[in-house]
A = this chain, B = another copy of it.
Amino acid sequence: MRVSVPKEPTGRLSDAWRYCVGTGRFELALRRDYQDSLATVQREIGFRHIRGHGLLSDGVGIYRPYEHRGARRVHHSFTYVDQVVDAYLDLGIKPFLELGFMPAELASGDQTVFWWNGNVTPPRSWPEWADLVRATISHLVDRYGLAEVRGWPIEVWNEPNLKEFWAGADQEAYHRLYELTAHTVKEVDAELQVGGPALAPSAGDWLLRFADFVAARDVPVDFVSQHAYTSGSAQHVPFGTHQRLAPSSRLLEQFAGPGRKLRGTALAGLPVHITEFNSSYRPDNPIHDTALNAAYLAPVLAAGGDLVDSFSYWTFSDVFEEVGVPTALLHGGFGLLAHRQVKKPTYHLYAFMARMGDLLLTRGLDHLVTRDATGRVTVLAWAPVDISGRDASPTGHTVRLSIPLDAPQRTAFALRSSVSEEAGNAWAAWSAMGRPRSPDQRQLDLLRELAEPVRRHQALPIAGGRVDLDLTLDRHEVTLVEITAVADETPPWWDEDRLLGTGREER
């Protein structure tokens, strides 16, 4: 069965997929590997915003109490904040601010999360928390301008519905935090965008209670945020984790959740940001390094924009230390890029999306077709993923399309770029190399070479304003096909047969 792609666009392809991307904790952005990786990502993908934890934690050093002449005072210091945000803006990406965690000296308790000890307890002084928020937002407005900062969403805390991230998962305490924070932000400027509650999946009625609370007390909310993951409980091995996955359609269901739940509440119709999503929520699950992950997420990238205003891949880089310093180059980190800019298959899924046109022609279970203003048609296609792991080798999936090409020419040029279990797959290469934990320079060069997509081109005849495209996909393949009509400039005297001087000379 060949799918006939309609000639007229059905609308624009949402760019919710590139609105935001996740990152390791704030001060990791000072690292060179991080910045080189972000430069790579921005050059080939181009996200708009970046969101991560730890802005207010001790490693960034904003909250600085001191004593002078016997009095205790607090200094707010932005040395690292400015270095990071300057770098972000230089790289063409803007912050999606997350306000958290608690400075140790402002905390009411000593519960922490992660290897790097983010304190997750409420403030011991609510006015000092408000001062901290006010000083931070005001400083950013002073340095980068109000017009700029109004474009940066400001999210209050992270996953307060999990006791690991907010002491006791105490919703009442969170409401107090949210209310104070939102009002403080709006005091700086009423058009700054504040939101929350940044819920972890399976949050039950949290969101509804949050909606009730803010409605009841008239607390400002400009957007609603939640996270989405499809992995089950963790089976641990040393320095790693394995988990079952739900079908990736479950991610789309999670995306749809906040909007559905808020129907009829005061928050109905607000922008919804999925401020984190991925297959597994563990930074040490090797699934992130695989082609399976790319093929699994392809339909999510293709369709997620219908459901939410953004969904932010967690995270762009393996420069990330939530469970400590990684012990091997490929260690199951969240990154689109491993350390040292080694590209994973999911990186290419995003890079392929970035080459799609903005006019949506059609979308199916295994394909997405777009066109751009120049008439170039692009097809993203992907092999189905068997999450049971039983079907060891589902190769040979086919996608057959009839594609409209509104051009007088007779031939089209098709460039096909692919990643799969075999191709464009640093993980597979690294495995075959014996999984060197700390590859040497030559091995890194080989990995980078083998991480590039395989690319082929072919000529397709245009007949009746259409070309037929038949794609046979390898196991876990994600493929991008870019089709343009050929404007033939071959001169009339060109004769391939004469290349070796053996053709008949023209007189």
A interface list, Cβ under 8 A from B? 30-35, 59-61, 64, 66-69, 75, 77-83, 86-87, 139, 143, 231-232, 235, 237-240, 242-245, 286-287, 290, 292, 324-329, 339-340, 387-390, 411, 413, 415, 417, 422-423, 428-429, 431-438, 440-441, 446, 449-450, 452, 454-459, 482, 486-494, 497-503, 505-506
Q: Is the CB of B238 within 8 A of A432?
A: no
Q: Is the CB of B325 within 8 A of A60?
A: yes
Q: Is the CB of A389 within 8 A of B499?
A: yes
In the assembled complex, the Cα of A327 lies from the Cα of B482 at a distance in Å of: 27
Q: Is the CB of B238 within 8 A of A493?
A: yes
Given the known interface contacts A387-B500, A389-B497, the answer about A489 and B457 at a Cβ–Cβ threshold of 8 Å is: no
Q: Is the CB of B287 within 8 A of A242?
A: no
In the assembled complex, the Cα of A452 lies from the Cα of B326 at a distance in Å of: 32
Given the known interface contacts A491-B238, A497-B389, the answer about A450 and B455 at a Cβ–Cβ threshold of 8 Å is: yes
Q: Is the CB of B432 within 8 A of A501?
A: no
Q: Is the CB of A489 within 8 A of B232?
A: no
Q: Is the CB of A499 within 8 A of B286?
A: yes
For residue A67, which residues in chain B have a CB less than 8 angstroms away from its CB? 238
Q: Is the CB of A438 within 8 A of B143?
A: yes
For residue A78, which residues in chain B have a CB less than 8 angstroms away from its CB? 437-438
In the assembled complex, the Cα of A68 lies from the Cα of B440 at a distance in Å of: 28
Q: Is the CB of B440 within 8 A of A449?
A: no
Given the known interface contacts A287-B500, A339-B79, the answer about A239 and B66 at a Cβ–Cβ threshold of 8 Å is: yes
Q: Is the CB of B493 within 8 A of A68?
A: yes
Q: Is the CB of B434 within 8 A of A290?
A: no
For residue A326, which residues in chain B have a CB less than 8 angstroms away from its CB? 61, 77, 79
For residue A324, which residues in chain B have a CB less than 8 angstroms away from its CB? 61, 64
Residue on B with the closest CB to A493? B237
In the assembled complex, the Cα of A34 lies from the Cα of B340 at a distance in Å of: 17
In the assembled complex, the Cα of A164 lies from the Cα of B489 at a distance in Å of: 34
For residue A32, which residues in chain B have a CB less than 8 angstroms away from its CB? 30-32, 34-35, 87
Contacting residue for A433 out of B35, B413, B454, CB 8 A:
B413
- Distance in Å from the Cβ of A362 to the closest Cβ of chain B? 23
Given the known interface contacts A238-B493, A499-B389, A500-B244, the answer about A329 and B79 at a Cβ–Cβ threshold of 8 Å is: yes
Contacting residue for A75 out of B83, B327, B486, CB 8 A:
B327
For residue A388, which residues in chain B have a CB less than 8 angstroms away from its CB? 500, 502
Residue on B with the closest CB to A67? B238
Contacting residue for A325 out of B68, B77, B243, CB 8 A:
B77
Given the known interface contacts A79-B325, A457-B429, the answer about A499 and B66 at a Cβ–Cβ threshold of 8 Å is: no
Q: Is the CB of A506 within 8 A of B237?
A: yes
Q: Is the CB of B31 within 8 A of A232?
A: no
In the assembled complex, the Cα of A87 lies from the Cα of B32 at a distance in Å of: 10
Residue on B with the closest CB to A332? B499
Counting from the closest, the 9 A-B pairs by CB-CB distance are: A61-B325, A244-B501, A389-B500, A32-B32, A434-B488, A434-B486, A77-B327, A66-B238, A389-B502
What would 25 A/B residue contacts be, using CB atoms closer than 8 Å? Answer: A64-B324, A66-B238, A67-B238, A77-B326, A79-B327, A79-B329, A139-B438, A235-B498, A235-B505, A237-B498, A286-B499, A287-B499, A328-B489, A389-B499, A413-B433, A422-B456, A431-B490, A432-B459, A434-B486, A434-B487, A434-B489, A436-B487, A437-B489, A446-B482, A452-B452
